[in-house]
A and B are shown apart, each in its own frame.
Chain A
Amino acid sequence: IAGITQAPTSQILAAGRRMTLRCTQDMRHNAMYWYRQDLGLGLRLIHYSNTAGTTGKGEVPDGYSVSRANTDDFPLTLASAVPSQTSVYFCASSVTPASGSGINEQFFGPGTRLTVL
């Protein structure tokens, strides 16, 4: 593994079904993020985790949950999928900067294309 991997690459899902999108990074980054990309809306943050054991809500968290049991993995779960969750989902990671000390870029995975029918 090099960088960030996401699985599956794509998925078609019936509405009401449960789905977990997987994300794994091998860079030992503290922070991880989930975004969705929709046409005309750019990338919007769903949930994030600054370090293992902690998570936070982003801009569009409703209908999604995350967990961060360890540094490397950050799965995103749709408990009961709805058609409006049809999107491309990107996982990202970064080194968490110390407070007030500038910024660190986020590295993105290749994405998961999810279609909810």
Chain B
Amino acid sequence: EVQLVESGGGLVQPGGSLRLSCAASGFAFSSYWMHWVRQAPGKGLVWVSRINGDGFSISYADSVKGRFTISRDNAKKTLYLQMNSLRAEDTAVYFCARVPRSGEFDYWGQGTLVIVSS
């Protein structure tokens, strides 16, 4: 059974940093692109970032470029999102998701809540 479990969310002050993790199980982790998608309270889904299977191809949404860094450890089957220079508008539930070559988000984690507030 495919499982994705996010962790690392919490309350952080503006300008602070946080690292999210997504532990994967039940599939060949290194064979899949992995993504982060966020959802602000009461709002819609917003794509954040993606990384390919070997970690050498990465892209970001313009809103987080230069502040967030996506990475993965295939030995640990874990995806990461390092978030720096956090802003109030980064407040959201952050989901990790698996994406096969056909481009859809076929499995999602349960999400982890990040609140940026003083």
Chains A and B belong together in one complex: no
